[in-house]
Structure 1
């Protein structure tokens, strides 16, 4: 005669046989722009540009400043030299601007909504992150120092690449350093030049427009904010 399981055993059997939800798919890596994406530093750059131009006796409008968003720094510096009374070399202009922005960021780190939270979650889940920025290494280090050790597995900056954004080299360099296929990653960008760079590198890209609009591109999905975006959402977003 077979024993009849009691209610407690039946409860355990039901619990043990309940299906479990599959783990969400995650990107092989997440490749982050910095200015305007992780931190709202574009106003710092604009203020530094205005201060520099005014000190030389010129004027610098918000419209002119907006046209520089996302550019390689020496490209922006040359535009300033061409259009204002500022003198010197592009490298000297970059040094003056970046030192001012570094000072401002050390005083107050202007986090963009949701960025730090998403970086923290990706780190907890073991998803490698790269910083891919046209700012130079000294400014990237200010951001790195404000985050937990190991937040970025690699950092690609504008002073170590031959071709800056919108060329694909910065994102291809990041993927190569991480040993991952660009097509298995997700890039996060806030500017047309940055989004163009990531898409040209074959990286599925999420655009978060901030100071400037980002035109539609094949391989690019636009969202209004990273606030509330979780690691498990990233691949779903780029598949839309």
Structure 2
């Protein structure tokens, strides 16, 4: 698995009825880790004397970690620096994730589809590199040409930088790369990059919007749909 490296020549992608690449989010989209993140955050804060309830959960879904820790510190008043709280949450998450995380419904079939049709695919996540590598190691065989981690770009989601980096790495056009996301901030990042977005909400609701396709599960996603959302843009 390789991360984004601007010194490496871009991969060459070929047209597939307009579709050039698929850019897939990780937490809550590919793997069911949102509960793990919530457990890590809630259990850690509880140990520090601060109880979180479900009303807080929608504010921390989808990262990035900088936004999450700023929110948690502001809400709880916990006496830790953002770097300290971030480090503790990540460490607790790694402990919870060590045994692997289940795939989201339809994810295995989607990965098989992308592999079968040799569609260039990248994993684009707000999670840090060590988290991504742990998930992919537990995942085993996968179709990802590379991955982009939240700690490898100057600005992560909801900024477009991670998706623009992946598009550039493929040498592709944003409008011909489909972003698949589960969280509102990730959807905003994909749209800001100029990509058509397929949203499969996990924890936080996602409102309909122009150029945005909403599904209830990855199981509803097939090659015709991937092609059609690009065809609508080109």
CA distance, structure 2, for counterparts of residue 48 and residue 26 of structure 1: 41
TM-score, normalising length from structure 2?
A: 0.86
Which residue, 96, 100, 122 being the options, matches 2:92? Answer: 100
Deviation string, structure 1 residues 174-224 (Cα, Å, up to 9, x no partner):
111111111111010011110011011010000001111112222211011
Deviation string, structure 1 residues 61-107 (Cα, Å, up to 9, x no partner):
11112211113101111111222143322222222212222222231
Deviates more, 1:230-239 or 1:87-96: 230-239
2:117 maps to what in 1? 125
1:134 maps to what in 2? 126
2:217 maps to what in 1? 225
How many residues of Structure 1 are paired with residues of Structure 2 in the alignment?
217
| Offset of residue 165 of structure 1 | 1.1
1:5 maps to what in 2? none
The answer to whether structure 1 residue 157 and structure 2 residue 146 are counterparts is: no
Which residue, 90, 105, 111 being the options, matches 1:113? Answer: 105
Would you say the 8 A contact 2:25–2:124 is kept in 1?
A: yes
- Give the 3-state SS of the residue equivalent to 1:154 in structure 2: strand
CA distance, structure 1, for counterparts of residue 73 and residue 98 of structure 2: 27
Would you say the 8 A contact 1:175–1:182 is kept in 2?
A: yes
Please give the residue correspondences for 1:25-104 in structure 2 after superposition, counting only pairs within 5 Å.
25=17, 27-104=19-96
Deviation string, structure 1 residues 162-183 (Cα, Å, up to 9, x no partner):
1121111111011111111111
- Give the 3-state SS of the residue equivalent to 2:101 in structure 1: coil
Runs of 4+ off more than 3 Å: 147-150, 237-240
Deviation string, structure 1 residues 31-51 (Cα, Å, up to 9, x no partner):
011111001111111111111
RMSD: 1.9
1:216 maps to what in 2? 208
- Give the 3-state SS of the residue equivalent to 1:67 in structure 2: helix
Q: Which has the higher contact order (CA 8 A, sep 6+)?
A: 2
Deviates more, 1:200-209 or 1:140-149: 140-149
User: Gaps (5+ residues) in structure 2?
Assistant: 1-15
| Offset of residue 53 of structure 1 | 0.9
CA distance, structure 2, for counterparts of residue 53 and residue 106 of structure 1: 21
TM-score, normalising length from structure 1?
A: 0.84
1:235 maps to what in 2? 227
| Offset of residue 233 of structure 1 | 2.8
